[in-house]
Amino acid sequence: MTDSPSPSPYGPGERAVQRRAGVIAQADHSGRAIGNGIRDVAAAFLGLQPMLVIGAADQGGQVWSSLLTGPPGFVTATGPHSIGITGRVHPGDPLASTLAEGFTNVGTIALDPRTRRRMRLNGTARPSARGLAVEARQVFSNCPKYLQKRLLEGAVPGRAPGAVRRAAALSEAQADAIRAADTFFIATVGAGDDAATVGAGDGAAATSGPADASHRGGLPGFVTVVSPTRLSWPDYPGNAMFLTLGNLESDPRAGLLFVDWVSGDTLQLTGTARTEFSDAGRTVHFALDEVAWTPAASPLRWSAPEYSPANPPLRGA
């Protein structure tokens, strides 16, 4: 399978953040890895994964990050620029209705804690007979920085997700889970010519640009719970692409996903985010609009983490 790099993978939001950070040359170098084709090594990697994170805007315009799981092979490369996913998010998931209708701009990330490897594929999803079909717009891998290593200890057979519980603010137990987290996923959307209209149902439709799903990791405590509706976290140095921060520069909507690696519970947050630049570094501030907690959303059970050697010490520690 081949790869067709585009002249520039970056939009105005990414360029604005790259210029502010003074990393245009590094970003241009990193951007050479972004194409729209799925190489053989990437296809093989996808075929081994038991989980995939997908991000998109729902029918009301809120951005969410959701978890898909299945036996290895549930995600497959179906062509040089497309993947197929067997199964869909569970019916109570905030993105269930959106992904079941028409075409949706999505970001996906396959992260393998066993090998500390990850691959991102952004594009357009549509329902298929088996689940979802995604046409790729961007395909690339990231380095293992800030990825915690975990072993897959098994899956609970026939485990069905519990009822989704929604709220406008975090409970104390949910806040504690976030404080203890060493990993989360973030979905964002950006401005672009391929913006799609989502929400064919009740209410006004919302416009969503190209979507992206990414990973954030660090030592437990790297995410600060400022209040039941406010979070913040440091933006650690990476590959200088700034796809997430670039999207937030153009569109502040964001969706966060926290996974309990032992119980399989998921915590999904939707809201808006902004980036603060200071001499101490970059900090992202997140304002919560809604939270969705799903017990036993994932049947997968993972070991305790081996923390990444790249994780910086906590600020103020």
Q: Name all domains of the chain by residue range, CATH numbers in brackets.
A: 12-198+205-302 (2.30.110.10)
Q: Rounded to whole angstroms, how far apart are CA atoms 177 and 182?
A: 10
Closest by Cα among 273, 206, 208 to 17? 273
Question: Cβ(112)–Cβ(76) under 8 Å?
Answer: no
Average pLDDT, the chain: 92
Which of 37-41, 202-206, 243-247 comes out lowest in average pLDDT?
202-206
Closest by Cα among 165, 158, 157 to 93? 165
Question: Cβ(298)–Cβ(264) under 8 Å?
Answer: yes
pLDDT at res. 8: 79
Question: Cβ(120)–Cβ(247) under 8 Å?
Answer: no
Q: How confident is the model at residue 2 (pLDDT cuts 50, 70, 90)?
A: very low
Q: Is the pLDDT of residue 199 over 60?
A: no
Q: Which two tokens stand for residue 175?
A: 């806040």
Print burial letters for 170-188: b (CB count within 10 Å at least 16), e (below 16): beeebbebbeebbbbbbbb
Q: Which two tokens stand for residue 9?
A: 């993978």
pLDDT at res. 126: 98
pLDDT at res. 12: 92
pLDDT digits (tens, 9 = 90+) for 163-198: 999 999 999 999 999 999 999 999 999 986 555 555
The secondary structure element, H or E, covering residue 44 is helix 40-47
Q: How confident is the model at residue 286 (pLDDT cuts 50, 70, 90)?
A: very high
pLDDT at res. 7: 63
pLDDT at res. 6: 52
Which of 73-87, 202-216, 252-266, 288-302 comes out lowest in average pLDDT?
202-216
Q: Is the pLDDT of residue 202 over 50?
A: no
Q: Which two tokens stand for residue 45?
A: 């990697």
pLDDT at res. 4: 47
User: Percent of the chain, pLDDT > 90?
Assistant: 85
pTM: 0.93
Q: How confident is the model at residue 275 (pLDDT cuts 50, 70, 90)?
A: very high
Residue 82's DSSP bridge partners are 79, 135
pLDDT at res. 234: 97
Q: How far apart are the first and last CA of the chain?
A: 47
Q: Rounded to whole angstroms, how far apart are CA atoms 275 and 287?
A: 12
Angle between helices 243-250 and 12-21 (to 10 degrees): 120
Q: Three-state DSSP class for 249?
A: helix
pLDDT digits (tens, 9 = 90+) for 69-78: 999 999 999 9
